[in-house]
Structure 1
Amino acid sequence: MEEEKRTVRAVERALDILLVFAAGGEWGLSEIAVRCGLHKSTVHRLLATLEEKGFVVRDEVTEKYKLGLRILELSAHFATSDDPTVVLIGEMVKLRDQLGETISLYVRDRLERVRIQAVQSEQAIRRVAPVGVRLPLSVGASSKVLLAFAEPGVREALLADPSWPAGLQGPSYTQQLDEIVSAGYATSFEEREPGAAAISAPIFNRAGKLVAALAVSGPSNRLTPDVMQERSPAIVGAAKRMGALLG
């Protein structure tokens, strides 16, 4: 049993090392050790194994590591038939062209939301939405959508989590989430950061499962509360069309 625990822990640490490269670029041994909170000797040993298997490559000159070709081999076999980042990109571009604002897709990962796809606005002043960014689930239109439309029991479990903000608990916040379900969308106006606004609607697949939150974001002087309300039918309609494309 102890040997099994050590083996699983080694796998977790190796995966933590690979996740460092999600930020892009090349990384030195010391940098990876700091990011993972591990001893350099442990990281060196795991990197040697990952390098042997082709998951990372070490530059002999800089002595830094980067992702290896084995990652590309795996990604080439990734199923795309129901991958929203692939299937929905066309509809996202259409919505961007229709509304002129940045379009994003978010999914929930525990107490965070992750931007998995984005189509940037072409306006000079716009919201820049890097893919892969993690944001708190406690604020923002997409966060409220992912929480409000979560599967039964998920909302209650998240609100009861010790790390959930105490100010966002209780009947008033639950009522707000219920109102979002009734309306079919959520908005945020300078809620997470000054000068930014967003409107979001849920994307359900044909089985009725929540897949992602569709978001339209931009400067708050363009996306005023009145404008967001006016555009809500277009965004909800786009989310329904996108859901119909997913199995």
Structure 2
Amino acid sequence: MEEQKSTVRAVERALDILLCFTEATNLGLSEIASRLDLHKSTVHRLLATLEAKGFVIRNPQTEKYRLGYRVWELSANLTHPDDPAILVLPEMERLRDLVGETISLYVRDGLERVRIQAVQSNHPVRRVAPIGARMPLTVGASSKVLVAYADPEIQQEVLSEQNWPDNIDRQAFSQQLEQIRKQGYATSVEERELGTAALSAPIFNHNGKMVAALAISGPSNRLTAEKMTEYAIPMIEAATRMGNMVQ
């Protein structure tokens, strides 16, 4: 039993090492050990195994590690033709061409939202949206949409979050949820980042289940309150068409 526990612990630590690279491209042994609060010797052994299997690559000049090609091989099988992130991409591009801003697709994972698809704005100054980025459900238009249409238990869990952001009023956030359900979309201005704004609408499948949140984001001096009101209708229409495509 102890041997089994040790094996599981090693697997968890190896996965934690790989997850470190969601926040940085190149990391050294000491950096990884510090992030995970592990001994360097432990991290070194795990990195050696990951390197041997092709999941990380070590630069002999800098002694830093980066993700290996095995990760890309796995990611090639991540999406399928019937994957929502693939199915709705043409509609996202169509919406981007119409409004000129960055379009993102989010799903809820626990108490976080994850960007699973994005189409970047063509403007020189734009809101860059990396796929795979995780954000808390307490901040931003898409977060509010995902919470507003979630089960009451999820809503209560989010509203009871201990690490609530100082710049967001908890009671005001709660009151916004009902308004979002009435008008069909949410907005945010400089909630997560200074100088940015966003609006978001839910995507419902054939069964009426919310499967994702569609968002338009950009610089707040360009994505003004008037513009967000103007873009809300085409965004909701796009979300409706997307909902007809997914299960």
Class of the TM-score when normalised by the shorter of the 2 chains:
0.7 to 0.9
Q: 1:117 to 1:160 in 2, by over 3 A?
A: same
1:95 aligns with 2:95: yes
Offset, 1:43: 0.5
Deviation track 1:145-177 (CA, whole Å, cap 9, x = no partner) reads 11111134211122123334586445x543320
Greater mean deviation of Cα atoms: 92-101 or 69-78: 69-78
Amino acid at match of 1:202: P
Could you state the TM-score of these two structures normalised by the residue count of structure 2? 0.86
Aligned equivalent of 2:181: 181
Asked if the contact 1:138/1:168 (under 8 Å) is kept, the reply is no
Could you state the TM-score of these two structures normalised by the residue count of structure 1? 0.86
Asked if the contact 2:159/2:174 (under 8 Å) is kept, the reply is no
Give RMSD over aligned pairs: 2.4
Partners of 1:41 and 1:142 in 2: CA distance: 42
Greater mean deviation of Cα atoms: 227-236 or 205-214: 205-214
Offset, 1:92: 1.1
Q: 1:165 to 1:73 in 2, by over 3 A?
A: closer
Any residues of structure 2 matched to 1:101-180 within 5 Å, and which? 101-164=101-164, 168-170=169-171, 172-180=172-180
Q: 1:41 to 1:106 in 2, by over 3 A?
A: same
Unaligned runs of 5+ in 1: none
Aligned equivalent of 1:204: 204
Aligned equivalent of 2:56: 56
Aligned equivalent of 1:68: 68
Offset, 1:49: 1.9
Q: 1:191 to 1:66 in 2, by over 3 A?
A: closer
Offset, 1:22: 2.6
Partners of 1:16 and 1:96 in 2: CA distance: 35
Deviation track 1:107-148 (CA, whole Å, cap 9, x = no partner) reads 233333333322221123332223333333222111111111
Aligned equivalent of 1:214: 214
Q: 1:196 to 1:51 in 2, by over 3 A?
A: closer
Q: 1:165 to 1:219 in 2, by over 3 A?
A: closer
Asked if the contact 2:112/2:135 (under 8 Å) is kept, the reply is yes
State the percentage of identical aligned residues. 61
Partners of 1:160 and 1:176 in 2: CA distance: 16
Asked if the contact 1:47/1:56 (under 8 Å) is kept, the reply is yes
Aligned equivalent of 1:34: 34
Amino acid at match of 1:85: A
Asked if the contact 2:137/2:158 (under 8 Å) is kept, the reply is no
Q: Figure out how many residues of one structure are paired with residues of the other and give that number.
A: 246
Asked if the contact 1:102/1:127 (under 8 Å) is kept, the reply is yes
